[in-house]
Structure 1
Amino acid sequence: MKIRSPWLQSLEGKHVLITGGSSGIGLAIAKEALSQGAFVTLVARSSTKLEKAEQNLVKDGATKHKILTKVADVGVYETLAKAIKEAFEWRAVDVLVCNAGAAKTALLDEGRIEDLHAIIRTNLTGVVNTLHVGIPLLKQRSAQTLMSIVLMNSRSGMYALYGNSVYTATKHALKGLGETLKLELMPYNIRISMVFPGFVDTPMLNYSGLEDDKDILQMIKDISFYSRSRIETPEHVAKYTLEETKKGTFLITSQFGGLVLSIFSRGPMPAESFGRALIELILCIPFRLFSFVVACYVYYVIQHRYNKKC
């Protein structure tokens, strides 16, 4: 039986550019990539956080000449374009990671409109800006080498996250963007990988206000089974992100919940391997039947808490 060859044999000598790279998952991806011999560029809004991130990477064993930092807001096209082009001039980019993200927990009609616009600006517009600049630069070398684009999504891109409607909407949009890009970039040696982690212990999770509103928090615990004891670490997400990206995996999930949601939301895009496709086919019917039970439970929880509140 022939074993499928990985898309990228190794990250040794490759250049990985990461937006939102000064903390959380982005910084963890940078650290993991450096440990595998890659060069990295970190793009973020805060020069102070970027400087601290670089110091932490060097402290953990990375060599400074393999790290480039660029101050840019993904929502501001002009400054972002300048930063990305300068990174490509430093070293040709092999893996472009769109990781910058924002979240703010609140019911849609109760949240500040400024916060909702900021989420769209970072999570969707920021990714579009990054790709609009980066893809033409990647295409220039696509005939000579294999490259990857990584879209850091969320399980909210496959299932609604209560109290985070606009965040959920941006992640669903990002999934559609990735599916379309997979087709648009098919003639080139550029693979798309979308990552759907669950709750991750990052600064964004803490700043999102997820645990500030007790009513919303309880709903998220009941509906999405949120628990501080079960959240993923950035290091764990970074490892499986890079390993699956090297394999050329399109839809990357972790844990059992990710498998379930991927079966429901994969759409017409087939799994990369026959084995995975067979597993999804076998589990599709029982999972779909079980979804009726889940739906009844979710509707009961929402109505019960609403009645109790009233």
Structure 2
Amino acid sequence: MKIRSAWLQSLEDKHVLITGGSTGIGLAIAKEALSQGAFVTLLARSSTKLEKAEEDLVKDGAAKHKILTKVADVGVYETLAKAIKESFEWRAVDVLVCNAAVAKIVVLDEGRIEDLHAIIQTNLTGVVNTVHVGIPMMKKRSPETPMSIVLINSLSALYPYYGNSVYTATKYGLKGLGETLRLELMPYSIRICIACPGFVETPMLDDCGMEDDKDTFQIIKDSSFYDRSRAETPEYVAKYTLEGTKNGTFLVTSQFTGFALSTLSRGSMPADSFGRALVELILFIPIRLFSFMAACYIYYVIEHRSKKKH
């Protein structure tokens, strides 16, 4: 029986470009990639955070000549394009990681429209900008060189979180973008990987304002089974994301929750292997029944808590 070989055998001497690379998941991916022998470009808006990120990576043992930093906002196409092109000129990019994201936990009509627009601009438009610049340069190396585009998504792309409507919309959009790109890039040696972690212990979790509105936070906590003590670490997300990328896996999740939601939400996109497809087929009905019971509980929580809120 032939075993499917990995898409990328190794990250040794590969170049990994990461947007939102100065903190959180992006920085953890940079650290893991460097530990596996890669070169990295960190791209972020803050020069101060980038400088600190580079210092921390070097302190952890990374070689400084393997790190390039670029200041750019993914929502501003011109400066982003310049930064990405300069990164490609430094070294041809093998793995393009679209990680930059922002969040604001608020019921849609209670949020400032400027904040909601900023979420869309970074989380969705920023990814479109990044891949629009990167893909033509990656295509020039096809078909001889296997490459990957990684979209750091969220379980919000597979499950609607209360108080998270616009953020969730951007993540659903990101999943659709990845599914279509997967088809558009089939003639080339460029794979798409969508990583969907759950709650992750990052600065964004502090900055999203989840706990500002106690009533809304309680609804989120009860309906989303939120427990910060069980949040994934950026290092854990980085490891399984890069492993999924090397294996050429399209949809990457962790833990049983991720497996269950990906089984329910895969849509027309097939699983990456016959074995995974068979397991999903066998477990689909039990998972669907469980999701029905969970939905009943969630609807009750939202209705009950909303009455108390108002």
The equivalent of 1:201 in structure 2 is 201
Q: CA RMSD in A?
A: 0.7
Distance 1:98 1:309 in 2: 37
Is it true that 1:183 corresponds to 2:183 in the alignment?
Answer: yes
Structure 2 partner of 1:83: 83
Separation (CA, whole Å) in 1 of partners of 2:98 and 2:204: 15
Partner of 2:55: 55
Which residue does 1:221 correspond to in 2?
221
Q: Which amino acid aligns with 1:90?
A: W
Deviation sequence 1:246-284 (CA, Å, 0-9, x none) = 000000000111011001110111111111111111110
Q: How does 1:1-310 map to 2 (within 5 A)?
A: 1-310=1-310
Give the secondary-structure state (helix, strand or coil) at the position aligned to 1:121. Answer: helix
Q: In structure 2, what is the Cα distance between the partners aligned to 1:96 and 1:72? A: 15
Q: Distance in 2 between matches of 1:267 and 1:56?
A: 41
Deviation of residue 25 (structure 1)?
A: 0.1
Normalised to the residue count of structure 1, the TM-score between the two structures is 0.99
> Structure 1 residues 34-43 or 269-278, which shifts more?
269-278
Give the counterpart letter for 2:288 in structure 1: R
How many residues matched?
310
Letter in 1 for 2:39: F
% same residue: 78
Give the drift of 1:228. Answer: 1.2
Q: CA deviation at 1:306?
A: 2.1
Report deviation, 1:160: 0.6
Q: Secondary structure at the match of 2:195?
A: strand
Instruction: Report if the CA contact (8 A) 2:199-2:232 is conserved.
Output: yes
Q: Distance in 2 between matches of 1:209 and 1:178?
A: 28
CA distance in 2, matches of 1:284, 1:48: 48
Q: Distance in 2 between matches of 1:71 and 1:308?
A: 46
**Structure 2: stretches of 5+ with no match in the other structure:** none
Listed one character per residue, the Cα deviations across residues 63-122 of structure 1 (whole Å, up to 9, x for unaligned) are: 000000000000000000000000000000000000000001111011111110000000
215-224 or 97-106, which moves further after superposition?
Answer: 215-224
Give the match's secondary structure for 2:68.
strand
Once the two structures are superposed, what CA deviation does each residue of 1:135-188 show, in whole Å capped at 9, x if it has no partner?
000000012200000000000011111111000000000000000000000000
Letter in 1 for 2:227: S
Q: Which runs of 4+ in 1 moved over 6 A?
A: none
